[in-house]
Chain A
């Protein structure tokens, strides 16, 4: 913690950056995103297992308020670094325009409000297959990287269950979960990779995605969200954590991640130079489904 504060203080004092995006104590037991703009404010920065948010989201160009604070330094976990790499890969952020502070993480809580200590049962699912290493994007590394050892992600078992169902059963399942969706759009707002200035879902002429929260509009929204994130989603699961309706969005993002990995050999990477699978192709991509 001291190391992090010291670093932030130095970066702000010598005007290397205008803002350090990190975490601070929030109301109750949770932490919240923090924007330190002076060396004094660097004192409020914290980092521990409650720091679940993906701060790479704040680097997206649509966050104009954050951009107005000057050059950012951002505190990233290994998972967040992949989102940052995605933004660089897709030309939304220039690598030289951001200072990357990689923090040794070791896993975060699934529910930071629980007040529980980090354990096998309490850890966020995405941490289960994380190697915990500092990202190669790091300008500064804080803490000794350690690999969390929490077994395989639980979402995979749920996926296998769904996969074992018949198609009508799966349709019924998604109908039941999508019927909870109120189209509050928090899954989009929280997503580091949803950076369009104007989302397709907000366009009304033509209206590709019906905006009312009925099943037909919800199916269109969740399918097109999955398509727009396929091969781009880094699996930070912020959408699922933020969803007030408890929709298991990680099932969909994880499924698409597997499709992309099996078909195109791509997994989310913290190397911005690895081309995104949707911006590239191979002459011999499988086409067994095309007549």
Chain B
């Protein structure tokens, strides 16, 4: 694939394909900085992600993920520092337990867990951030719009 085609594929709304809306909740110290590095390094990635910067993954309440779906997100990325790298020493360890439980709960409730990506992206992993973003978008694109959740309000008997 030439660079031109690669960039073409990553430009929005080509040929009427479904463009998922992705919300990303990231920690300030690692993933946000990593995403910044991805930008300054000119890593090409698709533009469907709306990013919310938080101090730490420990601050990422699972209510954020639910709210993102309520507000029309088709997919969610949650990302922060690798274990051992937390700026606050252990925020991501606590978050990891919470995310593990939430992932299982989502699955149990019948919400496709492929709509949520959990990842560790450090400040030096600009390229990994690009990959996480592209993979998530492609995966959610294949799943289609999250109509199951979007229509909950109208479906209320």
Contact = CB atoms under 8 A, between A and B. Distances in A.
Interface of A: 162, 167-175, 179, 200, 208-210, 213-216, 219-220, 223-224, 226-227, 230-231, 252, 255-256, 259-260, 263-264, 277-278, 281-283, 285-287, 289-291
Contacts of B93: 281-283, 285
Contacts of A286: 100
Contact of A290 (B120, B155, B157): B120
Contacts of B153: 214-216
Contacts of B102: 227
A219 B63 contact: no
| Those 6 A-B pairs whose CB atoms lie nearest each other, nearest first | A171-B110, A170-B110, A281-B93, A214-B156, A216-B152, A291-B119
A220 B70 contact: yes
Given A223-B66, A259-B101, A283 B83 contact: yes
A212 to B, nearest CB: 9
Nearest to B155: A215
Interface of B: 61-63, 66-67, 70, 83-84, 90, 93-94, 96-113, 117-120, 132, 135, 148-149, 152-153, 155-157
Contact of A170 (B66, B99, B109, B156): B109
A286 B4 CA distance: 40
Contacts of A260: 101
A170 to B, nearest CB: 3
A208 B101 contact: no
Interface of chain A: mostly helix, strand, loop or mixed: helix
A171 B66 CA distance: 15
A230 to B, nearest CB: 5
A179 B66 contact: no
Contacts of B63: 200, 208-209, 220, 224
19 contacts: A168-B110, A173-B110, A179-B156, A210-B70, A215-B152, A216-B70, A216-B149, A219-B66, A219-B152, A220-B66, A227-B102, A227-B105, A255-B105, A278-B97, A278-B98, A281-B90, A287-B96, A289-B100, A290-B119
